[in-house]
Amino acid sequence: MDGHTCHEHPQSHRGERVLQQLRIAVGSDKAGRDHATALTDDLRASSLVSSIIDISALDGQGRAAYPEIAFAAAQLVADGRADRALLVCHTGLGMAIAANKIPGIRAVTAHDSWSVRCAVLSNNAQVLTLGQGIVGLGLARRLVEEWLTYRFDDTCSAAAKIETISAFEDRWQGRSAADAH
Ligand SMILES: O=C[C@H](O)[C@H](O)COP(=O)(O)O
């Protein structure tokens, strides 16, 4: 295969270059609120985060179900108003399913360090979802800390595969638009 893989590229490793700060959208449903609150505090304290949009805080009553939170956060990313989103529900699964409905979004649930790493370096996922019912807060905090250090390298061999996904999505959307007329 042409090009270096995301795992080989020296710049893909932690701490070897100055990292651009990230704008993060963060949100949760009731089942993910405790983790999300603590993780948001961590994001606020991180030198790798330039700004936070707290979707849950915009949800005045705090009763929104996971699809609404996921759609809102993913839309911010798709619109270019946030670089990434961090979403927490009971399992992380529903948040990922919902966020992936927004065109252009690659959302994954990941509960281990290697998956978090590959989610960014291999899959260029902009959305990470966690399950408060699946991982303890200590692990969740560590995963998010690690997540912030990864940046996708669009010169690595993974980039063509992401492009294949995007091209498929563009074709599909074009077909849907044509069907609507
Ligand atoms: O995936 C969904 C989440 O785990 C959510 O927090 C719980 O959803 P439910 O109440 O529909 O099970």
- Give the nearest ligand 1 atom to 95 CA: 1
Mean pLDDT value of segment 99-120: 98
Q: How close is the Cα of 85 to the center of ligand 1, in Å?
A: 18
141-158 pLDDT tens trace:
999 999 999 999 999 999
Residues belonging to the active site = 89
Model confidence band, residue 1 (pLDDT cutoffs 50, 70, 90): very low
Confidence grade of residue 174 (pLDDT, cut at 50, 70, 90): confident
Nearest ligand 1 atom to the CA of 131 is 4
Q: What's 10's DSSP letter?
A: G
Dihedral through CA 10, CA 84, CA 103, CA 113, nearest 10? 60
Single out the residue of 3, 57, 166, 32 nearest to residue 174, CA to CA: 166
Q: How many residues does the chain have?
A: 181
Q: Can you tell me which atom of ligand 1 is nearest the CA of 93?
A: 1
pLDDT confidence of residue 175 = 80
121, 158 in Cβ contact below 8 A? yes
Closest listed residue to residue 42, CA positions, set 112, 139, 119, 131: 139
| String of DSSP letters for 68-128 | HHHHHHHHHHHTTS-SEEEEEESSSHHHHHHHTTSTT--EEE--SHHHHHHHHHTT--SEE
Residues with CB under 6 A from ligand 1: 29, 31, 66, 89-91, 93-94
Instruction: Please determine, for the modelled complex, whether the ipTM score is greater than 0.95.
Output: yes
Q: What mean pLDDT do residues 66-82 have? A: 97
- Sort 125 into a burial class: Cβ within 10 Å, 0-12 / 13-18 / 19+: buried
What is residue 12's predicted lDDT score, i.e. its pLDDT? 46
Report domain extents, the chain: 22-153
pLDDT of residue 181: 74
- Residue 21 has a pLDDT of 98
Give the model's pLDDT for residue 16: 58
Amino acid residing at 96: A
Give CA–CA dist 46/136, Å, rounded: 20
DSSP 131: E
Q: What's the confidence (pLDDT) of residue 8?
A: 57
Q: Which residue has the tokens 């509960």?
A: 111
In one letter, which amino acid is 175? R
pLDDT in tens, 36-67: 999 999 999 999 999 999 998 776 666 899 99
Tell me, in angstroms, the distance from the centre of ligand 1 to residue 166's CA: 28
22-153 adopts what CATH topology?
A: Ribose 5-phosphate Isomerase B; Chain: A, (3.40.1400)
d(CA 56, CA 111): 22
Q: What is the pTM of this model?
A: 0.91
Q: To the nearest whole number, what is the mean pLDDT of the chain? A: 91
